[in-house]
Amino acid sequence: MKHDKAIRNISYIKSVTSTNDIAKKSSEAEAVFVADEQTAGKGSKGRSWQSRKGNGLYMSFLVRPRIEADQIPGITLMVAVVVCNAIERVCGTKATIKWPNDVLIEGKKVAGILTESIFGDDGVERVVCGIGINTNQRFSGELKGKAASLKIRKKSQKMLLCNKVVSSFFKEYDAYLGNGLKFFMPEFRQRSAISGVVTIVEPNTQSTGELVGFDDMGAIIIDIDGEKRRFIAGEISLRGENGYV
Ligand code: BTN
């Protein structure tokens, strides 16, 4: 299905547990769910995502791509590029990416992406990609140095941001299905906020090395004592020398 026409299947909901959860349960072929607030917003690695009304844009995309499981992390990287572009176009603020799923402004996290998938007998059945963007929030304490928020003056600007994310998502999703992640990696690399020594945190081990770059499958490559190691996005955290990244 090509998305050259405006997608009509968008549901705006006042309050929901999590837009990812309703997207996962939906019987639609493709859909977008946008909520004013989430009562049980989910972040990555089992964390929660604070989703009070007026404090963010909370949205999830449901798609059914015919792809292999190892191509799913690539959707998150593609969406990170989409979110950066939408923020820049609507708010005029430069955005960068902390591999694989964080969008930053001046080194602080402004948005996160949570991609979840459901598998059937024939492999990938559906993919739900949730996006949370902080708006009009003030942070204190530890969060002040780590989190950022977009200043949204009018409701219409938030709608504009939402519409921009929706239209670019489907445009880029078509490009992703047609050309693969390779097509996005040059922009992803350009927008990457990470440099120098990084630590990859896996459930049972940590690996520290110098960042080499990202391959065309979206994996991160680290030089550990002269040996190049490749890590794919998944249950991995990344820590850098400087501040948040
Ligand atoms: C992260 O931890 O960085 C990912 C955060 C993803 C939050 C969004 S908000 C909309 C969607 N619904 C959820 O419950 N989570 C995602």
Please write the tens of the pLDDT for every residue from 141-176: 888 889 999 999 898 999 999 999 999 999 999 999
| Six token digits for residue 13 | 């909901």
Q: Is 188 in the pocket of ligand 1 (CB under 6 A)?
A: no
pLDDT mean across residues, the chain: 92
Q: 183-210: per-residue pLDDT in tens?
A: 999 999 999 999 999 998 888 888 899 9
As a residue count, the chain comes to 245
Q: Is 135 in the pocket of ligand 1 (CB under 6 A)?
A: no
Q: Is 56 in the pocket of ligand 1 (CB under 6 A)?
A: no
Q: Is 57 in the pocket of ligand 1 (CB under 6 A)?
A: no
Mean pLDDT of 21-50: 95
Q: Is 74 in the pocket of ligand 1 (CB under 6 A)?
A: no
For the CA of 101, the nearest atom of ligand 1: 3
Tell me, rounded to whole angstroms, the distance of Cα 197 from its chain centroid.
23
Distance CA 211, CA 55 (A): 34
Instruction: Please say whether the beta carbons of 73 and 234 come within 8 A.
Output: yes
| More reliable by pLDDT, 116 or 202 | 116
| Six token digits for residue 46 | 């089992």
Q: Is the pLDDT of residue 243 over 90?
A: no
For the CA of 38, the nearest atom of ligand 1: 14
Q: Is 101 in the pocket of ligand 1 (CB under 6 A)?
A: yes
| Six token digits for residue 35 | 């909520």
Q: How confident is the model at residue 45 (pLDDT cuts 50, 70, 90)?
A: confident
Residue identifier of the C-alpha nearest atom 2 of ligand 1: 43
Distance CA 201, CA 54 (A): 33
Residue where the block lists tokens 């026409």: 5
- Say what the pLDDT of residue 109 is: 96
Distance CA 20, CA 1 (A): 22
Mean pLDDT of 125-150: 94
The pTM for the full model equals 0.93
| Distance in Å, CA 163 to ligand 1 centroid | 18
SS3 of 60-121: the string is EEEECCCCCHHHHHHHHHHHHHHHHHHHHHHHCCCCEEECCCEEEECCEEEEEEEEEEEEEC
- Say what the pLDDT of residue 29 is: 93
| Distance in Å, CA 180 to ligand 1 centroid | 24
Distance CA 68, CA 122 (A): 10
Q: Is 100 in the pocket of ligand 1 (CB under 6 A)?
A: no
| Distance in Å, CA 16 to ligand 1 centroid | 13
Q: 59-79: per-residue pLDDT in tens?
A: 999 999 999 999 999 999 999
Q: What are the φ/ψ torsions at residue 110 (nearest 5 degrees)?
A: -110, -20
Q: Is 96 in the pocket of ligand 1 (CB under 6 A)?
A: no
Distance CA 68, CA 66 (A): 7
Burial of 156 (0-12, 13-18, 19+ CB in 10 A): exposed
Query: Would you tell me how many other CB atoms lie within 10 Å of the CB of residue 147?
Result: 18
**205 Cβ neighbours under 8 A, 6+ residues apart:** none
**3 Cβ neighbours under 8 A, 6+ residues apart:** 170, 171, 173, 174
